[in-house]
C-alpha cells in the first residue's frame, strides 16, 4: 500500500512539474512576443511595413528621480549614439493609461528610440490633466541646459511630439490645450483616448476640448470589445443586462473627436480590426 501511495505521489509531482514547466514556457513565449511585437505584426502598406520593424539604432535607457510622489521618475529611452554625437534628436513624450507606468510601454518607447527619437515617460498613473506631461517637458528643458549631462543641447526642443494611451490620450489633449508649454508640442497621437461618455461621467479633469488643437493629430482605436463596446451612440447608458456597454473608445467617440478637430490641420483616424487598440504591450485595457 505504501508503495502505491509513493507511486501516486511521484506521478502527481511529475504532473505538477510538467504543468509548471508548460506555464513557464507560455509566459516566456508571451514575454518574447511582447518584446518583439514588431516581428509578429501583420502590415500591408509599404510605410507601415518599414516603420513597424525595429530601427537601426541601438537603444540606451536612463531614469531620473522626479522628486514627486505622483510622477515618481522620468524614464528616457534614446539612441545610444547620442552619447557621442553632437546632433539634436526629436522627442516623444508619452502619457500613461490609468494605473500604468512608463515600464508598461517599454517596447513602444524602445521602438521609437531605435528610429532616432528620445522617448520619455514617467510613472504618473492618473495623467488626464496633462500636468505630469507638462512637468516632463519642463524636465527636458532643464536637462538640455545641463552642461554636465549627456543630453546637453542634444534635445531638439523645436520638434516635440506627444502620445498617450486611454487616460493618457486625454492627457495628450489637455497637455496641448491647457498646459503652459503646450505650444511646444508639434504633433499629437492618441491611442484609445477615453470617450466623452466616460469623461462626462467621471468629470474631475477628464474633460477635453479638441477644437483648440492646432497641430497634426492621429487618433486610433480598435474594434475589440474593450474599445468598441456594444453601444452605438453616446446617448446609450451602460446596462449589462441589456448588453449595452460603452467601450473606452468606440467608433462614435473616434468620429466625434475627429470631427471636433479643425479641418485646417492634418488629421487622421484609424481603427485596428478585431483587437483592442493599445501600444505594443500586453493587455492594455485601462480607461
Domain that holds residue 7: 1-35
Q: Which band of pLDDT confidence, cut at 50, 70 and 90, is reported for residue 259?
A: very high
**Size of the chain in residues:** 287
120 plus 78 within the same structural domain? yes
pLDDT value for 284: 38
Q: What CA–CA distances, in Å, run from 98 to 5, 21, 95?
A: 51, 33, 10
DSSP string for 119-179: EEEE--S--TTSHHHHHHHHHHHHHHT-TTSTTTTTEEEEEEEEEEETHHHHHHHHHHHHS
pLDDT value for 163: 98
In tens, the pLDDT along 163-213 reads 999 999 999 999 999 999 999 999 999 999 999 888 877 777 889 999 999
**28 or 89, higher pLDDT:** 89
Domain assignment of residue 279, yes or no: no
In tens, the pLDDT along 62-98 reads 999 999 999 999 999 999 999 998 899 999 999 999 9
Rounded to an integer, what distance in angstroms lies between the CA atom of residue 199 and that of residue 153? 39
Domain assignment of residue 287, yes or no: no
At 37, list the grid cell: 511585437
pLDDT value for 245: 80
Answer for the pair 102, 73: CB distance below 8 angstroms, yes or no. yes
**83 or 238, higher pLDDT:** 83
124 plus 23 within the same structural domain? no
Domain assignment of residue 281, yes or no: no
pLDDT value for 277: 52
Domain assignment of residue 108, yes or no: yes
137 plus 243 within the same structural domain? yes
Q: Which band of pLDDT confidence, cut at 50, 70 and 90, is reported for residue 4?
A: low
Q: Which band of pLDDT confidence, cut at 50, 70 and 90, is reported for residue 130?
A: very high
Q: Which band of pLDDT confidence, cut at 50, 70 and 90, is reported for residue 15?
A: confident
Domain harbouring 228, CATH code: 3.40.50.1820
Answer for the pair 174, 213: CB distance below 8 angstroms, yes or no. no
90 plus 162 within the same structural domain? yes
Angle between helices 131-144 and 167-178 (to 10 degrees): 60
20 plus 121 within the same structural domain? no
51 plus 191 within the same structural domain? yes
The number of beta carbons lying within 10 Å of the beta carbon of residue 36 is 13
> Best-predicted range by mean pLDDT among 1-10, 27-36, 69-78?
69-78
50 plus 171 within the same structural domain? yes
Domain assignment of residue 195, yes or no: yes
pLDDT value for 285: 37
> Best-predicted range by mean pLDDT among 5-9, 229-233, 240-244?
229-233
Domains held by the chain: number: 2
pLDDT value for 35: 62
24 plus 72 within the same structural domain? no
pLDDT value for 264: 98
Q: Please check the confidence at residue 107 and state whether its pLDDT lies above 60.
A: yes
Q: Which band of pLDDT confidence, cut at 50, 70 and 90, is reported for residue 55?
A: very high
113 plus 249 within the same structural domain? yes
* pTM for the full predicted model: 0.83
Angle in degrees, CA 76, 77, 79, rounded to 5:
130
Domain assignment of residue 121, yes or no: yes
14 plus 111 within the same structural domain? no
Domain assignment of residue 188, yes or no: yes
69 plus 127 within the same structural domain? yes
Mean of all residue pLDDT scores within the chain: 86
Domain assignment of residue 146, yes or no: yes
Rounded to an integer, what distance in angstroms lies between the CA atom of residue 157 and that of residue 90? 7
130 plus 205 within the same structural domain? yes
Amino acid at each position: 500500500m505504501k508503495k502505491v501511495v509513493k507511486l501516486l505521489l511521484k506521478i502527481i509531482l511529475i504532473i505538477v512539474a510538467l504543468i509548471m514547466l508548460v506555464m513557464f514556457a507560455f509566459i516566456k513565449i508571451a514575454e518574447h512576443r511582447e518584446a518583439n511585437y514588431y516581428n509578429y505584426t501583420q502590415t500591408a502598406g509599404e510605410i507601415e511595413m518599414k516603420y513597424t520593424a525595429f530601427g537601426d539604432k541601438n537603444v540606451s535607457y536612463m531614469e531620473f528621480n522626479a522628486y514627486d510622489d505622483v510622477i515618481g521618475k522620468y524614464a528616457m529611452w534614446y539612441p545610444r549614439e547620442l552619447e557621442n554625437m553632437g546632433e539634436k534628436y526629436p522627442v516623444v513624450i508619452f502619457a500613461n493609461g490609468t494605473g500604468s507606468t512608463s515600464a508598461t510601454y517599454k517596447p513602444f518607447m524602445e521602438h521609437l528610440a531605435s528610429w532616432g527619437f528620445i522617448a520619455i515617460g514617467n510613472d504618473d498613473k492618473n495623467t488626464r490633466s496633462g500636468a505630469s506631461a507638462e512637468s516632463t517637458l519642463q524636465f527636458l528643458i532643464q536637462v538640455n541646459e545641463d552642461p554636465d549631462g549627456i543630453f546637453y543641447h542634444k534635445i531638439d526642443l523645436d520638434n516635440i511630439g506627444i502620445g498617450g494611451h486611454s487616460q493618457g490620450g486625454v492627457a495628450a489633449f489637455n497637455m496641448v490645450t491647457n498646459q503652459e508649454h503646450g505650444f511646444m508640442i508639434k504633433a499629437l497621437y492618441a491611442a484609445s483616448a477615453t470617450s466623452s461618455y466616460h469623461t462626462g461621467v467621471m468629470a474631475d479633469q477628464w474633460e477635453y476640448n479638441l477644437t483648440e488643437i492646432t497641430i497634426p493629430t492621429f487618433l486610433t482605436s480598435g474594434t475589440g470589445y474593450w474599445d468598441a463596446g456594444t453601444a452605438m451612440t453616446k446617448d446609450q447608458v451602460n446596462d449589462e443586462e441589456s448588453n449595452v456597454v460603452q467601450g473606452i473608445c468606440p467608433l462614435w467617440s473616434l468620429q466625434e473627436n475627429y470631427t471636433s478637430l479643425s479641418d485646417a490641420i492634418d488629421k487622421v483616424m484609424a481603427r485596428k480590426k478585431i483587437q483592442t487598440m493599445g501600444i505594443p504591450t500586453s493587455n492594455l485595457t485601462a480607461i
